[in-house]
Amino acid sequence: MDFFQSQENARKRTMLLVALFVVAVILIMVGVYATFTVVAAFMAEETRPAAATGPAVSLWSPGRALFTAAVVLGVVGFSAMGKIAQFSRGGGAAVAESMGARRIDPATRDPQERRFFNVVEEMAIASGLPVPAVYVLDKETGINGFAAGNRPDDAAVALTRGALESLDRDELQGVVAHEFSHILNGDMRMNIRLAGVLFGLLVLSIIGNGLLRAAFRGSLYRGMARRGGGRGNNGGMLVIAFVGIALFLLGLIGQFFGRLIQAAISRQREFLADAAAVQFTRNPQGISGALQRIGAGSRRGKVEDSQAETAAHFFFANAMHVRFNGLLATHPPLPKRIRAVDPSWNGKFEPRKKRAAPAPEPKERAKAAATGRPGSAGLFRQGGSTQEKIASGVALAAFLQAIGKVSPEAVTRARELIAGLPEALREAVHEPEGAQATAAALLLSDDAGVRSKQVALLRKAFSDAFALRVTRLFPHTFALADTGRMPVLELCLPALKQSADASDAFVDRMRELADADGKLHLFECLILAVLEARLRATKGLRESTARLDGPAAAAVLSGFARIEAPDEAAAKAIFTKIMGERGLSSMVFSPPEDNAALERALVKLRGLGPGDRKEFLSAAACIVWHNGEVSSAEGEWLRALAAVLECPVPSMAEQ
């Protein structure tokens, strides 16, 4: 499915969710209005004269209706919005931590956690998504997991300890691929809204339960007072008890409708995510095996945490006991899911032997990946400049079609990239200071004079030891092919986010590093924009709205044209021609004055809507392909630009 269409479909599902929520709230209003009417009649009957005739309270009262609407909207609406705001501010981390999950250190030495983290990194690089935060639910022994977040930049992927212990690598990869499908298809934001809706509908039950407890305690107190000679009237307690029971039952009705909403929206998406996992890995046995293990296990996918009920739709499998014969199940039955991806399944949930982990890759294969020999991913430079390697026949349609898609080949290449990294670089990207040093090494110049100036800046801004570490990493980052630099930067980001409080100062130092030679460098600006955008998302900051025909878009496209052309006149001609062909003739050629201006424009583009992002990337690709050819460096510029815009383009994609 087209990535941008998937985002639009996710928005439509959110609209459906809102519509169903409104219907549920209206039904609750009717029930609360009836409760208030009964209470009003009871209180009026207690106080009116005995000789009075007729109903004590009219069945319809505009004032009572307005009061009911205010109470229900205030309680349910604000509770739902509060929960949505809580999860939206904290992203996937807030959802994971609300269920007691523990964040895995990127540098973990635990074999199970390391394997899980590696699989997540491979899938992120293969899909072009940011590497999400990785969590484990240590206390959960069932096999389950989820992906959560407000957007790809703040996503989190979590698995239960039971999943880490029970699944082999292929099955683990199948589950992770399933969760990445939810990230790519825009399901996460809708899931957060659904969690808020469910919490809002559940609040009435919580309030009703509290009133019942208060009435019970009040009755005990008054009973003790009477036995002690005091006098009391339990009429008020009866009213409180009645209201408590009514709200508790209405809350259950609201919860029932919430579960129906949850089931209606979730089930079909699970089939789609299972199919996507097979497409990503080309291995139906992975996802099928994981589902079979859940069916054969004594605990299935059950999650004990109390928050799991509200967040059941996040999970890979049913996290709760299924009631009403599956009517309220958030996921399709396991047999249906298994047969959809593995028609050869015999229909029996039998204990599966856990396959031994594959032997480590031979040194020859890792060496091939590092040197770029045939059969490898070609991750490192060989011979001359990458600028001389021209890949002909790369079409605009192929580039756009790659967005949001994951191929088995991309997954294999991502795995080879990680396996082929030098040990010093592979270790550095997983801890905060090492990740900072790697990011700095990516910005070092190949000119010895400029690099000497940059190292002096590092000594002044950080320390001699830090500058030395950067210079030791530089040969490894310099040896990376153009298609390897962005993936390595993405591998650094989880560790960089651990020191988010110092991120502003760090990005400022990186700007100084990039500006050391006073020249405009597109890729350096793209690296800085990715750092700024990713770390900005960590702090929960929002981007201002941007327009396709606005100054930021014009500045970036003009900058691309200027780098593609020998002089400014030729760049303007390229820009004017392509903007005219794209129906954007109102855009004015306005190249940025310096690196800082280009970076600011890049970050502002994150405010573009989904449709405008697609059109913008199309225009940028047309500029790069204006001469019918593209170098590997130019292809990576486009991938980095897509990363800034949160449009996932797989690394080293077959384009």
Q: Are residues 331 and 376 in the same domain?
A: no
Residues 330 and 373 both lie in one domain:
no
Q: Give SS3 for 49.
A: coil
Which residue, 608, 650, 603, is CA-closest to 486?
650
User: Is there a catalytic annotation at residue 593?
Assistant: no
pTM reported for the whole predicted model = 0.81
Same domain, 487 and 634: yes
> What pLDDT was estimated at residue 458?
95
50: pLDDT confidence band, cut at 50, 70 and 90?
Answer: low
Q: Write down how long the chain is.
A: 655
Q: What's CA 418's distance to the chain center, in Å?
A: 22
Is the residue at 166 inside a domain? Answer: no
Vertex 627 angle, CA 623 and 633, to 5°:
65
**Are both 242 and 372 inside the same structural domain?**
no
Strand partners, 380: 480
Q: Do 528 and 619 share a domain, yes or no? A: yes
Q: For 320-356, what is each residue's pLDDT tens digit?
A: 766 555 666 778 889 999 999 999 898 888 776 655 5
Give 100's Cβ-side CA count (13 Å radius): 12
Three-state SS across 311-351? CHHHECCCCCCCCHHHCCCCCCCHHHHHHHHCCCCCCCCCC
Q: Does residue 125 form part of some domain?
A: no
Q: Are residues 336 and 446 in the same domain?
A: no
**CA distances from residue 546 to 84, 89, 366, 549, 615 in whole angstroms, order as listed:** 25, 21, 44, 9, 13
For 455-467, write each residue's pLDDT tens digit. 999 999 999 999 9
Residue span of the structural domain in which 629 resides: 364-644
Specify whether 90 is located in the same domain as 59: yes
Please, are residues 181 and 280 in contact by the beta-carbon 8 Å criterion?
yes
Beta-carbon-side half-sphere exposure of residue 48 (alpha carbons within 13 Å): 13
Residues 237 and 369 in one domain: no
For residue 326, the model assigns a pLDDT of 60
| Residue 384 domain flag | yes
Tell me: do 24 and 89 sit in the same domain: yes
Residue 135: strand, helix, or coil: strand
Q: What is the average per-residue pLDDT within 15-25?
A: 75
The answer to whether position 74 is within a domain reads yes
The CA distance from 424 to 65, in Å, is 69
CB 566 within 8 A of CB 523: no
* 252 shares its domain with 204: yes
Is the separation of the CB atoms in 579 and 619 below 8 Å? yes
Q: N- to C-terminal Cα distance for the chain?
A: 17
380, 370 Cβ separation under 8 angstroms: yes
Q: Which of 179, 270, 532, 636 is catalytic?
A: 179
**Are both 425 and 497 inside the same structural domain?**
yes
Closest by CA to 104, choosing from 539, 430, 425, is 430
* pLDDT 10s digits, 360-405: 444 444 444 444 433 334 445 544 333 333 343 345 667 777 777 7
Mean pLDDT, the chain, rounded, equals 80
Co-location of 458 and 547 in the same domain: yes
